[in-house]
Amino acid sequence: MRDFVYPPVVGLCRTAFKVLDVRFQLTGTANVPRTGGALIALNHISYVDFVLGGYGALPSGRLVRFMAKEVLFRNRFSGPLMRGMHHIPVDRSAGAASYQQALDFLRAGEVVGVFPEATISRSFELKEFKSGTVRLAAEAGVPVIPMILWGTQRFLTKDHPKDFARHRPISITVGAPITVTPDDDPGAATDALRATMAGMLDETIRAYPEQPAGAWWLPAAYGGSAPTPAEADRIDREELERRAAKKAQSQE
């Protein structure tokens, strides 16, 4: 696959990281295979997780094709970039096409990035996982590479203003490849993947150099003031209800 857009974007991001003096803590990046198809599963806590997740694969020389909301591909600014970097548009009302495109990419030896939670976690802990990740890996015959991002929520996330302050630590932890076969139960395999990533997230949070009590970006279970998972789920439901009501009103 020819990439004319992706390398310059990577260069711009590297420059931005230097200007911001982002203090990366990279662990286990060698687990991203240098050749062949692989499916990277990431936690989702920020709108910039695509950028930082891709950065975690660069030490292995890989460019990640992320599955992302279709609306990003229709935007006049992000659309050309998303298409140029060969990311995969996901239309939730017609998911078969995006699934097939991801499958084709994986079989062609590409690295595809997915967020099993499907949306940003307001609690910054893991939400429930969709089973599509393990189903895709099993059908393509590629390993699942678990990746945890931490600190990205401090840049840009839901319910908080953007803050690209300098000298911020960002942790990226990559776990060992996980093999999933067509004979494995998708539900059990999904639970196992989530449990693995929950353990990785706990280790990454505890190793993070900043742990201010009461910080909005720190989970409640770690002494922060972020919503608990139950509170975050309630806020998510209320948000969906408002969107549905607004959509219904516009159609009247």
| Gap between the Cα atoms of 75 and 252, Å rounded | 26
Q: CATH assignment of 6-212?
A: 3.40.1130.10
Residue with tokens 């990277």: 40
What is each CA distance from 86 to 37, 57, 93, 102, 116, in whole angstroms? 15, 16, 21, 11, 20
Tens-level pLDDT at each residue, the chain (252 residues): 889 999 999 999 999 999 999 999 999 999 999 999 999 999 999 999 999 999 999 999 999 999 999 999 999 999 999 999 999 999 877 778 999 999 999 999 999 999 999 999 999 999 999 999 999 999 999 999 999 999 999 999 999 999 999 999 999 999 999 999 999 999 999 999 999 999 999 999 999 999 999 999 999 999 999 999 999 999 999 999 998 888 888 777
**Domain boundaries along the sequence of the chain:** 6-212
Query: What is the pTM assigned to this prediction?
Result: 0.95
The candidate with the shortest Cα–Cα distance to 150, out of 127, 126, 128, 132, is: 126
Residues ≥6 apart with Cβ < 8 Å to 216: 160, 224, 225, 226
